């Protein structure tokens, strides 16, 4: 039962990371300005799909880094109550998101690699 509980807990953290990645891309790209009629509809759908796809990739990177950090470091250090442990893990997830966002900005705007 403990393995199932851990798997479910990590699944929740992964889904949260993916949602944070999609939200981050939505904030970066902004609202889609293509019309929803005629050929503009196709552009609108491609824009939404691009936000979703790149957001999932960024969310996957965030989830991967979070799970590695949680398994290697946080699980050993956090022996607090469940609420305190969850708050610390969520804070670490936000810090990892900020780090990934900074690296994404650096690669896209400064170095022009992406």
Q: State the pLDDT at residue 1.
A: 53
Q: State the pLDDT at residue 16.
A: 96
63 dihedral zone (left: phi>0; alpha: psi -120 to 50; beta): alpha
Mean predicted confidence (pLDDT) in 36-58: 88
Predicted TM-score (pTM) of this structure: 0.86
Does 3 have pLDDT greater than 90? no
Mean predicted confidence (pLDDT) in 48-71: 94
Per-residue HEC secondary structure of the chain comes to: CHHHHHHHHHHHHHHHHHHHHHHHHHHHHCCCCCCCCCHHHHHHHHHHHHHHHHHHHHHHHHHHHHHHHHHHHHHHHCCCCHHHHHHHHHHHHHHHHHHHHHHHHHHHHHCCCC
Residue 14, domain extent: 2-110
How high is the mean pLDDT of the chain? Answer: 89
Domain count, the chain: 1
């Amino acid at each position: 039962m403990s393995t199932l509980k851990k798997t479910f807990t990590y699944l929740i953290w992964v889904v949260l990371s993916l949602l944070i990645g999609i939200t981050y891309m939505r904030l970066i790209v902004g609202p889609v300005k293509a019309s929803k009629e005629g050929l503009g509809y196709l552009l609108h759908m491609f824009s939404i799909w691009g936000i979703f796809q790149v957001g999932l990739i960024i969310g996957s990177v965030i989830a991967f880094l979070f799970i590695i950090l949680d398994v290697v470091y946080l699980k050993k250090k956090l022996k607090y109550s469940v609420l305190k442990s969850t708050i610390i893990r969520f804070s670490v997830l936000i810090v990892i998101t900020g780090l990934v966002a900074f690296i994404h900005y650096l690669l896209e705007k400064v170095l022009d690699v992406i």
